[in-house]
Amino acid sequence: MAELKGKILAGKVLVRPKDAEEKTASGIIIPDSAKEKPQQGTVVLAGAAKKDETMEVKPGDVVLYGKYSGQELSIDGVDYLLMAQTDVLYIV
């Protein structure tokens, strides 16, 4: 992954979602139309802490987030989610 240029605003995180599952546990291939949107990803960039809230996540953390959290972005052909730190539900 290329080095990202730019800056994330306070209280925001840029997450690279985990790839959607291609097969079920029993080996059945899942078609694109039936794939679930991933709810886990790796933090790529984290903004500064807000005045009233410390920044709990840092780059490299694996996080779980809500199904409809964040704004989808494509930077240099790579898909990311930009979300508020409050959208992160759990740090693995």
Most trustworthy range by pLDDT among 8-17, 20-29, 30-39: 8-17
Contact 46, 56 (CB under 8 A): no
Percent of the chain with pLDDT over 90: 48
Distance of CA 7 to the CA centre of its chain: 16
Number of domains in the chain: 1
Is the pLDDT confidence value at 51 over 60? yes
Instruction: Print the domain residue range for 50.
Output: 12-91
Task: Evaluate whether residue 75 is within a structural domain.
Answer: yes
What is the amino acid identity at position 66? G
Whether residue 43 contacts residue 59, with contact meaning beta carbons closer than 8 Å, is answered with yes
Determine, yes or no, domain membership for 57: yes
- Residue 1 placed within a domain: no
What span, in angstroms and rounded, lies between the C-alpha atoms of 52 and 34?
Answer: 41
The pLDDT of residue 2 is above 60 = no
Residues in the chain, total: 92
Residue 76 or residue 22, greater confidence: 76
pTM here?
A: 0.79
Residue 54 covered by a domain: yes
**30 domain residue, yes or no:** yes
